[in-house]
Amino acid sequence: MTSLPTTYPTIRVTAMPADANPYGDIFGGWLMGQMDLAAGSVASHHAGGRAVTIAVEGMKFHRPVIVGDEVSVYATLVATGNTSMTIEVEAWRRGRHSDEAYKVTQARFVFVAIGEDRQPRRVAGMAG
Protein backbone atom coordinates (compact mmCIF):
# COMPACT_ATOMS: atom_id res chain seq x y z
CA MET A 1 0.00 0.00 0.00
CA THR A 2 1.21 3.54 -0.74
CA SER A 3 0.80 6.17 1.94
CA LEU A 4 0.75 9.96 1.84
CA PRO A 5 4.02 11.79 2.59
CA THR A 6 4.40 12.51 6.28
CA THR A 7 4.97 16.26 5.80
CA TYR A 8 2.10 18.74 5.83
CA PRO A 9 0.62 19.51 2.40
CA THR A 10 0.58 23.11 1.21
CA ILE A 11 -2.98 22.59 -0.05
CA ARG A 12 -5.54 19.84 0.62
CA VAL A 13 -8.87 19.86 -1.19
CA THR A 14 -11.66 17.53 -2.31
CA ALA A 15 -12.07 17.06 -6.07
CA MET A 16 -15.69 17.99 -6.90
CA PRO A 17 -17.98 17.19 -9.85
CA ALA A 18 -17.57 20.75 -11.20
CA ASP A 19 -13.83 19.99 -11.63
CA ALA A 20 -14.48 16.94 -13.84
CA ASN A 21 -14.29 16.45 -17.59
CA PRO A 22 -17.19 14.96 -19.61
CA TYR A 23 -15.94 11.44 -18.74
CA GLY A 24 -16.20 12.07 -14.99
CA ASP A 25 -12.48 12.27 -14.22
CA ILE A 26 -10.80 15.43 -13.00
CA PHE A 27 -9.46 17.95 -15.55
CA GLY A 28 -5.69 18.09 -15.76
CA GLY A 29 -6.02 21.88 -15.90
CA TRP A 30 -7.79 21.95 -12.54
CA LEU A 31 -4.99 19.93 -10.99
CA MET A 32 -2.36 22.20 -12.56
CA GLY A 33 -4.24 25.14 -11.08
CA GLN A 34 -4.07 23.64 -7.59
CA MET A 35 -0.35 23.03 -8.06
CA ASP A 36 0.13 26.61 -9.27
CA LEU A 37 -1.72 27.90 -6.18
CA ALA A 38 0.48 25.83 -3.87
CA ALA A 39 3.70 26.89 -5.60
CA GLY A 40 2.53 30.52 -5.59
CA SER A 41 1.92 30.37 -1.86
CA VAL A 42 5.48 29.15 -1.24
CA ALA A 43 6.98 31.65 -3.70
CA SER A 44 5.11 34.69 -2.36
CA HIS A 45 5.99 33.72 1.21
CA HIS A 46 9.68 33.40 0.35
CA ALA A 47 9.68 36.59 -1.72
CA GLY A 48 7.78 38.53 0.92
CA GLY A 49 5.58 39.94 -1.82
CA ARG A 50 4.08 39.40 -5.22
CA ALA A 51 5.39 36.52 -7.35
CA VAL A 52 4.13 35.24 -10.70
CA THR A 53 4.48 31.99 -12.63
CA ILE A 54 6.96 32.25 -15.50
CA ALA A 55 7.40 28.55 -16.40
CA VAL A 56 6.25 25.03 -15.60
CA GLU A 57 8.80 22.29 -16.26
CA GLY A 58 8.55 18.52 -16.44
CA MET A 59 4.82 18.23 -15.85
CA LYS A 60 3.71 14.60 -15.85
CA PHE A 61 0.34 13.07 -15.05
CA HIS A 62 0.97 9.59 -13.61
CA ARG A 63 -2.57 8.60 -12.63
CA PRO A 64 -6.12 9.95 -12.90
CA VAL A 65 -7.92 11.81 -10.14
CA ILE A 66 -11.53 10.77 -9.49
CA VAL A 67 -14.42 12.91 -8.24
CA GLY A 68 -14.47 12.72 -4.42
CA ASP A 69 -10.74 12.07 -4.08
CA GLU A 70 -8.86 14.01 -1.44
CA VAL A 71 -6.06 15.85 -3.27
CA SER A 72 -2.95 16.91 -1.34
CA VAL A 73 -0.40 19.22 -2.94
CA TYR A 74 3.14 19.42 -1.58
CA ALA A 75 5.25 22.40 -2.70
CA THR A 76 8.91 22.83 -1.75
CA LEU A 77 11.31 25.63 -2.66
CA VAL A 78 14.34 23.90 -4.19
CA ALA A 79 16.31 26.75 -5.80
CA THR A 80 16.53 30.53 -6.00
CA GLY A 81 18.16 32.77 -8.60
CA ASN A 82 18.40 36.55 -8.70
CA THR A 83 14.67 37.08 -9.15
CA SER A 84 13.41 33.53 -9.72
CA MET A 85 12.34 30.71 -7.40
CA THR A 86 11.99 27.07 -8.40
CA ILE A 87 9.37 25.10 -6.52
CA GLU A 88 9.06 21.32 -6.78
CA VAL A 89 5.40 20.35 -6.60
CA GLU A 90 3.78 16.93 -6.17
CA ALA A 91 0.05 16.20 -6.07
CA TRP A 92 -1.27 13.05 -4.39
CA ARG A 93 -4.74 11.51 -4.37
CA ARG A 94 -6.41 9.48 -1.66
CA GLY A 95 -9.69 7.71 -2.32
CA ARG A 96 -12.42 9.19 -0.14
CA HIS A 97 -12.99 5.91 1.71
CA SER A 98 -9.46 4.56 1.63
CA ASP A 99 -6.06 4.86 3.27
CA GLU A 100 -4.26 4.16 -0.01
CA ALA A 101 -2.64 7.19 -1.61
CA TYR A 102 -0.82 7.71 -4.90
CA LYS A 103 1.29 10.44 -6.43
CA VAL A 104 -0.67 11.66 -9.45
CA THR A 105 1.42 14.51 -10.82
CA GLN A 106 4.68 16.33 -10.32
CA ALA A 107 6.32 19.38 -11.89
CA ARG A 108 8.75 22.22 -11.20
CA PHE A 109 7.13 25.65 -11.14
CA VAL A 110 9.35 28.68 -11.70
CA PHE A 111 8.12 31.94 -10.17
CA VAL A 112 9.55 35.44 -10.47
CA ALA A 113 9.26 38.00 -7.70
CA ILE A 114 7.90 41.27 -9.05
CA GLY A 115 7.51 44.76 -7.66
CA GLU A 116 4.68 47.29 -7.83
CA ASP A 117 5.87 48.11 -11.37
CA ARG A 118 5.42 44.40 -12.32
CA GLN A 119 9.13 44.16 -13.11
CA PRO A 120 11.37 41.40 -11.66
CA ARG A 121 12.91 42.17 -8.29
CA ARG A 122 15.66 40.38 -6.38
CA VAL A 123 14.87 37.66 -3.85
CA ALA A 124 16.96 36.36 -0.99
CA GLY A 125 18.90 33.15 -1.60
CA MET A 126 17.89 29.91 0.08
CA ALA A 127 20.78 29.67 2.55
CA GLY A 128 20.41 31.29 5.96
Query: Is the CB of 36 or the CB of 69 nearer to ligand COA?
Result: 36
CB 37 within 8 A of CB 44: no
Of 96, 7, 108, the residue nearest 58 (C-alpha): 108
Tell me if 52 contacts ligand COA by CB under 6 A. Answer: yes
Report in angstroms the alpha-carbon separations of 122 from 3, 33, 50, 89, 93.
38, 25, 12, 23, 35
Beta strands 70-80; 11-14: pairing state: antiparallel
Query: Is the CB of 64 or the CB of 120 nearer to ligand COA?
Result: 120
Span 64-123, contacts to ligand COA by CB under 6 A: 81-84, 110, 112, 114, 118-120
CB 89 within 8 A of CB 31: no
Query: Is the CB of 76 or the CB of 84 nearer to ligand COA?
Result: 84
Q: Which of 11, 41, 50, 53 binds ligand COA (CB under 6 A)?
A: 53
State how far Cα 96 lies from the chain centre: 20
Minimum Å distance from CB 71 to ligand COA? 22
Q: Which of 55, 78, 124, 126 binds ligand COA (CB under 6 A)?
A: 55
Tell me if 126 contacts ligand COA by CB under 6 A. Answer: no
Question: Residues interacting with ligand COA, by CB under 6 A?
Answer: 52-55, 81-84, 110, 112, 114, 118-120
